[in-house]
Each structure stands twice: as C-alpha cells, then as structure tokens.
C-alpha cells in the first residue's frame, strides 16, 4: 500500500498545532525533526557520545512529518495545509517558513522509518525512556519506561513532555490519585505510576492513542495502577484527584481549567504543560481567575509548564 508523506517546516512553538492540523487530514501520528537536537549531547546505552546525522534534520526550524492515506489525498490538500499553518500567526504562534512538501511513500517507510530517530533518553535525574526495540542497562536507582509509540503521538523526548516529567518528580506524593489528560502514548501516566502514585487515570480522545497507551502500560507492568479511557478532557469525571497533569495545547488547557478546579480538592495540584511562551500569560491569567495559585514555572526554550495549586474550597454538600 502507498502513502503520502507530508512535510511541514515550522517552529518549535507551532509543532503541536501543526500536528493537530495534519491529524485533521488523516495522520495518526507525526515525526518531529528539530534542528535544535543537533546541538544537544546524546549518549547511547553504554554512555558513549554519538552525533545525529544532519542529513535527517532541517537546516533550521522544525520539520513535522506525517503519512496520509493516498486514497484520500488530493494535490490541493498541500495548499490547504499551508494556509492553515500560516493562519497560526493569528492565534499568537510563529508558523515559521510554513512550507509544505509531499511525496509518495512505501508502506515500510510509513510503519518504521521514524524509528531511526528514537533512542534511549535520560529525561530526568532518575528516569530514562527507551524504545522497545533497543537494549538498555539501567544504573542503580534508575527507572526505565519502555515505549512503543506505534501510531500515537509522543516519544517522551519533546521539551513539553520532559518539563511535565520534571514537574511530576517535584510534586507527586506517594499514593496520590492522578489523572493524565491527553495521555498520548501513556508516558506521563506510566511515570506517575513508577514514581509512587496510588492510582492513575489516563485519558485521551483519540482511540488510537488509547490503544497504544494500554499496550505500553501493560508492557511496563503498570496495569494494576493505570486505567486508560477514551474521554474528552475531564468531561463527566467526578474526582476527586490529588493531581491533574495535562501536556496539551494552550487553547485546550484554557478549555479544561474550570473542570480541573472541579475535580481537584482544595490544595490539589495541576501541572499544565504544552504552553508556548506567547500563550503563557493568557493561560496564567485564566488559572488565577479560576482560583489557582502558581507555585512554580518551568521553562525550556519556547515552552512553559505551570505547577499550580487549587485554592478554592471544596464544594459543600447539602
């Protein structure tokens, strides 16, 4: 079977939004090739330093690559995608070059071509994420999560995911009840379970992500702690939860904030990630307006993660 490989050249802050646009056209996952990765230090499982191949990365900016079914592709789709990417400027995101290219690709390219970019990565002081197809010997005290992204979004190496994991290490208390909103491949839910959470609920609207997350949860032996469900953000959830973590678009976080306040008791914690610097002020204002207090702010490049506490008292039952 043939597929259409679509490449969009954009910026780090617009990556998540571009991924959503491509999903609207049938993509069930994306590959992110960030030129900034070429300047980072990478180590293999033996501690040896290795370099990434510049030929696999853009000279500048970020390339987002997706595979779309050829049966649904029309040439004008490229222009439509470019128009939508450029329109991100209207919502405060820098679309960068916003160039769109496409070509026909074979089945094996769609299924496995992205694996060459994915290696074990130490994402926090005590946590490493590795793909299932690579061997890795952890150091004493090091926690390892095995992930097979399949066709779901998220390998754990994006700055917003790393910031979320760092935030979890800071605030997660043993036995906590945690909900991961927009769980993707299940990385944050798995990390919470391995860090000592008592029970974790992982939610995603995408049925592909739900299926992939369940497989990753089982692969890591965490099915006794983590439940994965198809759900639209926090809609219909009763709570209470001690901690809500959401690594999603700023616009989606804004929509979710009132429900986060509802399911968190007084003193409950929200980790809000996936926020570009340009949107951080708007999100912070919304958090404050809904009774949250900002306890800490983590940053990485163009990305911001808030750790906030719910100050509103629990509702009184009549």
- Which residues fall in the annotated binding site for S-adenosyl-L-methionine? 161, 182, 204, 247
Residue pointed to by tokens 């780090």 = 12
Q: What is the chain's length?
A: 318
Distance separating alpha carbons of residues 203 and 219, to the nearest angstrom: 18
Whether the CB-CB separation of 102 and 78 falls below 8 Å is answered with yes
Distance separating alpha carbons of residues 145 and 4, to the nearest angstrom: 32
Distance separating alpha carbons of residues 268 and 295, to the nearest angstrom: 12
Give CA separation, 284 vs 253, 279, 297, in Å. 11, 9, 10
Whether the CB-CB separation of 278 and 92 falls below 8 Å is answered with yes
Stretch (H or E) spanning 21: helix 15-24
Q: Count Cα neighbours of 304 within 13 Å in the Cβ-side half-sphere.
A: 17
Q: Show binding-site residues.
A: 161, 182, 204, 247
- Quick one: tokens of 44? 């293999």
Give CA separation, 126 vs 64, 89, 135, 168, 201, in Å. 29, 38, 18, 12, 23
């Amino acid at each position: 079977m043939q597929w259409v490989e679509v490449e969009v050249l954009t910026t780090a802050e617009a990556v998540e939004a571009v991924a959503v646009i491509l999903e609207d056209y049938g993509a069930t996952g994306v590959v992110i090739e960030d030129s900034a990765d070429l300047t980072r230090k990478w180590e293999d499982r033996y501690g040896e330093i290795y370099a990434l191949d510049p030929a696999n990365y853009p000279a500048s900016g970020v390339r987002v690559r997706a595979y779309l079914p050829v049966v649904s592709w029309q040439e004008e789709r490229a222009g439509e995608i470019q128009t939508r990417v450029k329109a991100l400027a209207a919502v405060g995101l820098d679309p960068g070059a916003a160039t769109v290219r496409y070509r026909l690709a074979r089945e094996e390219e769609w299924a496995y071509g992205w694996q060459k970019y994915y290696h074990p990565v130490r994402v926090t002081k005590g946590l490493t994420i590795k793909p299932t197809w690579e061997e890795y010997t952890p150091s004493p005290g090091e926690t390892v999560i095995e992930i097979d992204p399949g066709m779901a979004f998220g390998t754990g190496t994006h700055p917003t995911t790393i910031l979320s994991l760092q935030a979890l290490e800071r605030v997660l208390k043993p036995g906590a009840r945690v909900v991961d909103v927009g769980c993707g491949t299940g990385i944050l839910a798995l990390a919470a379970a391995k860090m000592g959470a008592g029970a974790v609920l992982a939610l995603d609207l995408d049925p592909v992500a739900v299926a992939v997350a369940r497989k990753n949860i089982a692969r890591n032996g965490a099915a006794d702690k983590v439940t994965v469900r198809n759900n639209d953000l926090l809609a219909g959830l009763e709570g209470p939860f001690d901690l809500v973590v959401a690594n999603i678009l700023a616009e989606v976080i804004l929509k979710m904030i009132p429900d986060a306040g509802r399911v968190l008791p007084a003193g409950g914690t929200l980790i809000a990630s996936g926020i570009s610097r340009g949107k951080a002020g708007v999100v912070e204002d919304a958090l404050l307006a809904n009774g949250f207090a900002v306890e800490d702010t983590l940053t990485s490049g163009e990305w911001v993660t808030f750790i906030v506490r719910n100050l509103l008292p629990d509702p009184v039952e009549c």
